[in-house]
Amino acid sequence: MTDSCLSAKLQNTGKCREHNSVLALIQSQDVSDWIDNKLKGHDVIYYVGASDEFVEGTWEWAFSGEPVTISNWAPGHETDKDDDCLAIYNKDPNVNGTWYDVKCTLQYNFICQQSASVPVVG
């Protein structure tokens, strides 16, 4: 997956670029936990930078091309055939942000990440 593929689907990537950042890559449990803590109690959906656009069910981080190796999928939501983008939804305040396979064209919030820093929720 390349920056341009995901950018064509997610207009929010332009907002990340305005801040010299990209959609967040959650490549460690520490980063996942940090994001979950920031989102806890917010009933909002956020895009992050992963997609299964090329091979359904095979998730990779769009800006690095690396496979997604950790996850927090909501039961039954790891793969939906017409949906290709990963979003985090913290619907239940008692559960950390769960991951969903969603359409890339929906108007959700997003989480950007600057190089060598913790992601920024926007």
In the prediction, which pLDDT does 92 show? Answer: 65
Of 80 and 13, which is predicted with more confidence?
80
Instruction: Give the Å distances, CA to CA, from 110 to 14, 74, 76, 121.
Output: 11, 18, 22, 7
Q: What is the mean pLDDT of residues 35-45?
A: 82
Q: What is the mean pLDDT of residues 101-120?
A: 77
In the prediction, which pLDDT does 19 show? Answer: 78
As a whole number, the mean pLDDT across the chain is 78
pLDDT tens digit sequence for 42-85: 778 889 999 998 888 899 988 888 999 988 888 887 777 778 89
Local structure of 34: helix, strand or coil: helix
- Greatest mean pLDDT among 12-26, 52-66, 80-94: 52-66
Name the band, by pLDDT with cuts 50, 70 and 90, for residue 3. very low
